[in-house]
Every structure is written in structure tokens, then in C-alpha cells.
Amino acid sequence: MKAKDRQLAELKSRIAEITPGEALQLQVQGAALIDVREAEEIAQGSPPGAHRLGRGFLELRVEDAIPDFDHPVVVMCNGGTRSLFAADSLARMGYSTLYSMAGGFARWKAEGLPFEQPSRLDASARERYARHLAIPEVGEAGQAKLLASRVLLIGAGGLGCPAAFYLGAAGVGTLGIVDHDVVDRSNLQRQILHAEAKIGMPKVRSARQAIEALNPTIKVETYETRLTSENVEDIFSGYDVVVDGSDNFPTRYLVNDACVKLGIPNVHGSVYRFEGQASVFWPGYGKRRGPCYRCLYPEPPPPEFAPSCMEAGVLGVLPGLIGLIEAVETLKLLLDIGDPLVGRLLCYDALKAEFTELELKPDPECAYCAAGSAFPGYVDYERFCHAA
């Protein structure tokens, strides 16, 4: 008997082998199913919900995917041999309840059990997003999800520029940008998508050029217009997340009201001199119902208490920090990972180098987002904010 055969016989004496049907039943009951085949094999099909870790990186990635060493684990390959060696390696790491699927994916498929063909990235995409692919919470499936996602940015200014630039770099497949303004020299202190040579150019066109130069594989849709009650739903339609980088209250209220009506998460950011804030307004969030923007600000503050950046000034790097927080929150929402800033307001004081988090609760009497309330309609936002 060859050494390989002796080792396989020894492994089979220690590691329980189960049929694909039994593996599926265990998965339904909560067990983790690990597919240790190579990427080229997985591209031909893999059980839904399987952890596709690959044999070469199994020991490096498995603990991130399955941190509980007592959690039941079923290991599968294509024919049932590599899974035995992989299960043995996991046993030596400390995993206590292990099974190897006899016959592997070939038998799973032959028995008519469910499988899916994961979206496959080409070689260029795999190289571009290699650092994402190494993260278990993202991986190839998550990157494919990002590439299929659509994010709308309100404003190509201090907040919108860094958010858009990094979302484009991350591979969000479609970025929409709404802005009616043109590039001014005073913008260049903080609006990093623009440049001296673009002064006078529409901001949406300048932003698109910069993003496409960074990542020509994504689509950038531009809306060179002022956002209004008449066009907001047409523009928002079809987007998964709205990132609000506006710097005025009429637009913030309009964005909020449209997002509430359409059920779209609203990733919010604002800056003032040395201070910034970020939150996610999404009353429809399933894990923890959050407030909308109107729950936090039922009425806009008087203008003298909320001057614009033009009037009050802003530290040039501060919008970069808050805009990147908005980008991080957007990626978390698209990937459905982590704990988004729903029901939380993250405040940053640059002079103190201090973050403070405030809990936000939905207003049960909110006319726009209270449970069971009918959408009251859009208002004259300029008059609403001016009257306050």
C-alpha cells in the first residue's frame, strides 16, 4: 500500500464521512459548509451558502469565517479526498466537530442537490481587487455584489469627492453624481476630484473624468442639475444607496424625504470648521429600526446657527475624513456586513482628535417615517428652511 493510501485509510478512521444529502441537512441545521476547491473549480458551481476558502488559504482564512471552534464543520472538495486532508488540518487547529463529504461536489451535483455558479471575476479584476478578495467578509462573491451595485452621490464637493473616489476604487459598479455647480478655485482646497485645469468645468464632468481615470471598468452617471421635488424620484430610482454630501438644509430635507418614501438608505455627512458628523438614516433597516433625518432635525436651525462652509469655513482635510466614513458605511450596507451607523450619530472634533457617538432614536410621531404613516408629500424646501 502506498503511503498516500495508508494516510487516507488512517484519516477515514478518524474523520466521519457523510453523504451530500447528510451534508445539506447539517448545513440547514446551521453547520458550516467549507468548499476547499480551487477558484476554477468553484466557478463551475458550488453549494449556496458555502464558505469558498480554497485549500491553499484554508488555515489562514478559516478562523475569520468560523471563529467558534466547536461549531460543526463539513468540508467538501470535488471527489472527497482533499476534504479529508483539509478536515485533518482543521482538527489540528482545534476544530472539534468535523465531517468530510464523501464523493465531493461531483456527487452533490449528480444527486441533483442545489448549487449556484458564483460570479467570476476576470484576471484584471482579480488583480485590481486582490486585497478585497483576501478578506473573508468580501471575497469574490462580495466583490461581484459591489460591481453589481448602484450608488448615488448628492454633490461633487468636499464630501462627495472623497466618497466617490474611494467607492469607485472599491469597484462599486455604477456611481451616479448629482451637482449643478462648476469648479471654482476655492473648491480645490478640499474637493480632490477637481484640479486647476478644470476651473469652470461642470463638477459632474470633472468628477467623472477623475474617477474613470482611476477605474475605467465602472460606470459613472452624471446629473448636471439642481435636485428638486420634481426630479428627485426619477434620479433616485434604481439606486441601492444614496450618499448625501450636500451642504444646505433644503437639499438635506429633500434627500431625506425621497429616501424615506423610496426605502433607500441615506448615508449622511456634514462638516463645520473643525467638526464633522456622519450617520445612516434608514427607518427600514431590518436589524434595528433607525430614525430619519427629520427625527434628528424636525425643523432646520435658524441660518445664523448653521452657516455654510463659504460663510464659516472648513478645515480642508476634514471633509476627506467624513466623506471616507460615508464611503465605509456605504460599502458595509452594500455587502451587508458589520454594524452600520443606523440609529447612531458619529461626531468628530479635529482639534481634540476625538470621536463621540450619540444614540439616535426614531420619533414615533414623525410625519415621514413613523410606523403606519402615509407619505405627506414634498414641500417647498427653500421656503420651509427660510421660514425656520
CA dist., res. 228 & res. 237, Å (int) = 14
Q: Tell me which of 77, 161, 309, 366 is the catalytic residue.
A: 309
Residue 130 lies in a domain: no
Is residue 144 a part of any domain in this protein?
no
Packing angle, helices 318-335 and 139-147, rounded to 10: 110
**Is residue 140 in some structural domain?**
no
CA–CA dist 148, 241 (Å, integer):
13
Q: Is residue 87 part of a domain?
A: yes
User: Are residues 179 and 49 part of one domain?
Assistant: no
Residue 283 shares a structural domain with residue 364: yes
Range of the domain at 29: 3-118
Is 297 in the same domain as 348?
Answer: yes
User: 67: domain CATH number?
Assistant: 3.40.250.10
For the chain, which ranges sit under pLDDT 70? 1, 302-311, 387-388
104 shares its domain with 200: no
Residue 303, domain member (yes or no)? yes
Q: What is the CATH number of the domain that holds 208?
A: 3.40.50.720
DSSP 83-148: HHHHHHHHHHHT--SEEEETTHHHHHHHTT---B------HHHHHHTHHHHTSTTTHHHHHHHHHT
pLDDT of residue 309: 64
Same structural domain, 170 and 256: yes
Question: Same domain, yes or no, for 71 and 160?
Answer: no
Say whether both 66 and 184 belong to one domain: no
- Position 132 in a domain: no
Same domain for 367 and 225? yes
In a domain, residue 276? The reply is yes
Q: 185 and 279: one domain?
A: yes
Q: Is 385 a catalytic residue?
A: no
Same domain, 196 and 279: yes
Verify that 72 and 176 share a domain, yes or no: no
Number of domains in the chain: 2
Does residue 237 fall inside a structural domain?
yes
Check: pTM over 0.75? Answer yes or no. Answer: yes
